[in-house]
Amino acid sequence: MSQPQTMSQKILSSRAGLPSVEPGAIVEAAVDMVLANDVSAPMMIRGFKEAGGERVFDPARVVLVADHFTPNKDVASALIVNEMSEFASSQRLEHRFEGGRSGVAHVLLAEQGLTLPGELIIGGDSRALTYGALGAFATGVGATDLAAALVTGRTWFKVPETIRVQLSGELGPWVGGMDIALALLNTLGPEGAHYQSLEFHGPLVEALSMEARQTISNLMVESGAKAALFPVDQATTDYLAGKAKRSWHSVAPDPEAAYSRTIELDVSGLEPLAARPHLPHDVAPAHSAGYEPVNQVFIGSCAAARLEDLRVAAKVLEGRTVHPRVRLMVIPATPALALAALREGLTETFVAAGGMVGPPSCGPCAGGHLGVLAPGEVAVATANRNYRGRMGHPGSRIYLAGPAVAAASAILGRLASPTEVVS
């Protein structure tokens, strides 16, 4: 008889062809999807060729997304995208995204129904954890592992222990997925979930939108997590209706599954938060996290550039004007989201307030394109990292926050809570 299993153990044992797996065991498992972007793809392609690869294991299960430096910002990035495009054509890949079809990979793949419950997904980017919001074991790996998986359709894992995260309470005004994520990072610290899975439970989960779940899973890599899985429930089923590109099967933990520990977070009374430079874990209420003047506000990235986030930002900005010192940049994560924002009038709100709306991409999140910071400049961003030099010059400073705090900060020209702007 197999031992009781967590969600991560069940997925890994299923893909390894084993009845059960124990934490610490090394397993070789079949992958359901391999993702690479314009940062990881060149090394992956090189490794694939050096390994003697001729055809990828399954053209329907390899995804290439140009999102970091698109539209091509220089000759070097143009060469990368061209290499990706030629590889996709030569391998007859079914899912390739560039130009007007591209967007931020970790939002785009979920939106396209390419990441599904119970699956094992690897990506050449640490934010692959995002797909755990849909009940997948999704994680980032290096280019060598990506290349090997392209050839064999398999990779290896050490089975992680799992931390149970119990979420309860009711969300207050202007509090969302980013605030929950920052509160958890503040509790966990940078290594609190090192090579462990997080599994979310509790009465609050049912009330969380899929957008909020994706934001939470996305940021958990900052605690060292290997994966961050939400239960497969009605919200999951509703989200995937009409989207899923493949059949899928729900996965749930056994009631007697063993966890390394339990973390409890009651969100009642939680305020809009911000992470201070230069750590995502240095968290405080937005109204008291810092008072220095802000030069740039970025609303975008794979952490918070979905329709729910854009609506929140627009609600704060509507009828108001961006501070004259502030550059406000809003980047919807995918073409579909950009179109929805346009149809709802959100884009008009952003532009009327004095903001810029950019093409679907990672934008300034990783400091490579669109909105690079100068020495001494301060930014508020709905991104997932605020390390020194992350968005430009090492002498710049970044606060992380949700869309409501970001929008309020754009108006007041300093880090601000939305309650200071909207009653």
Q: Tell me what pLDDT residue 367 has.
A: 81
Q: Tell me what pLDDT residue 369 has.
A: 84
Q: Tell me what pLDDT residue 389 has.
A: 87
Q: Tell me what pLDDT residue 70 has.
A: 85
Looking at CATH, the fold of the domain delimited by 276-420 is given as: Aconitase; domain 3 (3.30.499)
Q: Tell me what pLDDT residue 291 has.
A: 86
**Structural tokens at position 383:** 């991104």
Asked if domains 7-264 and 276-420 share a fold, the reply is yes
Q: Tell me what pLDDT residue 391 has.
A: 87
Q: Tell me what pLDDT residue 1 has.
A: 53
Query: What does the pLDDT profile of the chain (423 residues) look like in tens digits?
Result: 568 999 999 999 999 999 999 999 999 999 999 999 999 999 999 999 999 999 999 999 999 999 998 898 899 999 999 999 999 999 999 999 998 999 999 999 999 999 999 999 999 988 899 999 999 999 999 999 999 999 999 999 999 999 999 999 999 999 999 999 999 999 999 999 999 999 999 999 999 999 999 999 999 999 999 999 999 999 999 999 999 999 999 899 999 999 999 999 999 999 999 999 999 999 999 999 988 999 999 999 999 999 999 999 999 999 999 999 999 999 999 999 999 999 999 999 999 999 999 999 988 888 878 889 999 999 999 999 998 889 889 999 999 999 999 999 999 999 999 999 997
Distance (Å) of CA 69 to CA 78, 97, 324, 360: 9, 13, 28, 11
CATH number of 7-264: 3.30.499.10
Give pTM, 2 decimals: 0.95
Q: Report CA dihedral (16, 21, 22, 28) to the nearest 10 degrees.
A: -10
Instruction: Kindly list the domain boundaries of the chain, sorted by start residue.
Output: 7-264, 276-420
The 3-class secondary structure across the chain, one letter per residue, is: CCCCCCHHHHHHHHHHCCCCCCCCCEEEEECCEEEEECCCHHHHHHHHHHCCCCCCCCCCCEEEECCCCCCCCCHHHHHHHHHHHHHHHHCCCCEEECHHHCCCHHHHHHHCCCCCCCCEEEECCHHHHHHHHHCCEEEECCHHHHHHHHHHCEEEEECCEEEEEEEECCCCCCCCHHHHHHHHHHHHCCCCCCCEEEEEECCCHHHCCHHHHHHHHHHHHHHCCCEEECCCCHHHHHHHCCCCCCCCCCCCCCCCCCCCEEEEEECCCCCCEEECCCCCCCEEEHHHCCCCECCEEEECCCCCCCHHHHHHHHHHHCCCCCCCCCEEEECCCCHHHHHHHHHHCHHHHHHHCCCEECCCCCHHHHCCCCCCECCCCEEEECCCCCCCCCCECCCCEEEEECHHHHHHHHHHCECCCHHHCCC
